[in-house]
């Protein structure tokens, strides 16, 4: 497998949320706004890249029996660094992500990639794999958060100042009745993600059937 395939497989074909169904807790919890999704995405991409790099570099010295505890300690250390860095440089996002920053430690994606890929491959391919998987993960977050923020409040706010207000486009200063804050609430998160997963798997099975027919 060349590096390009290695990178692109994480985007759609082996997308960790849509296909492997891993790391769903933050996907539901922090996608209330685009800003949160971007913050979480960056944190996960960084964490995944660094842990994959470290774990693939030490893969030959780590005894097989105690590899999982070692991986968890490596991951927890990287997450602590991210936690402190975000508290210092991005205090607003750090506060709104709250408990989900330390919880990156137990995000199945990080340990999953460490176990499934970084422990068997060299540092360079591991980093490429981490970037692909991380970007695939972050983009699903971004899509869900855009859907939820737009339907939920009728506008999108990024970094506090950049605002796209759909209500204003229709010439109204209040939130239009078609937008309901139901989608900001927990129930909305489950339903948006459920629909997205369903639609994606419908498209996927259709496409697989098509390729099978073409092969015949």
Partner 1 sequence: MTLGEILTLAFSAILLQNVVLSRFLGICPFMGVSSKRDSAVGMGLAVIFVITLSSVVSWVLYTYILKPFDIVYMRTIVFILVIASLVQIIEMFIKKVSPTLYKSLGIYLPLITTNCAVLGLATIVATDEYTFLSALIYSFASAVGFLFVMYIFSTLREKMKNAPIPDGFKGVPIAMITAGIMAMIFARFAGVI
Residue ranges that bind partner 1, judged by CB under 8 A:
21-22, 24-26, 28-29, 69, 72-73, 76-77, 79-80, 83-84, 99, 102-103, 105-108, 111, 185-191, 193-195, 197-205
- Closest to partner 1 by CB, 3 vs 205, is 205
Q: Please, what is the minimum distance in Å from the beta carbon of residue 123 to partner 1? A: 24
Q: How does 84-110 read in b/e, with b if 16+ C-beta sit within 10 Å?
A: eebeeebeebbebbeebbeebbebebb
* Cα 53 to Cα 160: distance, rounded to the nearest angstrom: 34
Q: Please, what is the minimum distance in Å from the beta carbon of residue 49 to partner 1? A: 19
HSE (side-chain half, CA atoms, 13 Å) at 205: 5
Q: Please, what is the minimum distance in Å from the beta carbon of residue 168 to partner 1? A: 30
HSE (side-chain half, CA atoms, 13 Å) at 45: 19
DSSP code of residue 109: H
Q: Please, what is the minimum distance in Å from the beta carbon of residue 206 to partner 1? A: 8
Q: Please, what is the minimum distance in Å from the beta carbon of residue 198 to partner 1? A: 4
CB 88 within 8 A of CB 103: no
CB 130 within 8 A of CB 54: no
Closest CA to 17 of 189, 184, 157: 189
- Closest to partner 1 by CB, 176 vs 187, is 187
- Closest to partner 1 by CB, 4 vs 209, is 209
CB 157 within 8 A of CB 64: no
* Cα 60 to Cα 56: distance, rounded to the nearest angstrom: 8
State how far Cα 126 lies from the chain centre.
Answer: 18
Token pair in block for residue 128: 């490429």
Q: Please, what is the minimum distance in Å from the beta carbon of residue 1 to partner 1? A: 27
- Closest to partner 1 by CB, 37 vs 128, is 37
């Amino acid at each position: 497998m060349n590096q390009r395939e290695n990178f692109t497989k994480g985007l759609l074909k082996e997308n960790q949320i849509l296909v492997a169904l891993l790391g769903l807790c933050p996907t539901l919890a922090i996608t209330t706004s685009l800003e949160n999704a971007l913050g979480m995405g960056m944190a996960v991409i960084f964490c995944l890249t660094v842990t994959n790099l470290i774990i693939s570099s030490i893969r030959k010295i780590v005894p097989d029996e105690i590899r999982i505890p070692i991986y968890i300690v490596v991951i927890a250390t990287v997450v602590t660094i991210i936690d402190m860095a975000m508290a210092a440089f991005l205090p607003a996002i750090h506060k709104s992500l709250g408990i989900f920053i330390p919880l990156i430690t137990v995000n199945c994606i990080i340990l999953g990639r460490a176990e499934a890929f970084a422990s068997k491959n060299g540092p360079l391919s591991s980093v490429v794999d981490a970037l692909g998987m991380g970007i695939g993960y972050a983009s699903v977050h971004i899509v869900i958060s855009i859907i939820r923020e737009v339907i939920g409040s009728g506008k999108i706010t990024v970094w506090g100042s950049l605002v796209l207000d759909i209500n204003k486009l229709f010439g109204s200063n209040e939130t239009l009745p078609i937008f309901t804050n139901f989608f900001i609430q927990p129930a909305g998160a489950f339903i948006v993600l459920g629909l997205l997963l369903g639609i994606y798997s419908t498209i996927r099975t259709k496409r697989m059937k098509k390729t099978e027919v073409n092969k015949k």
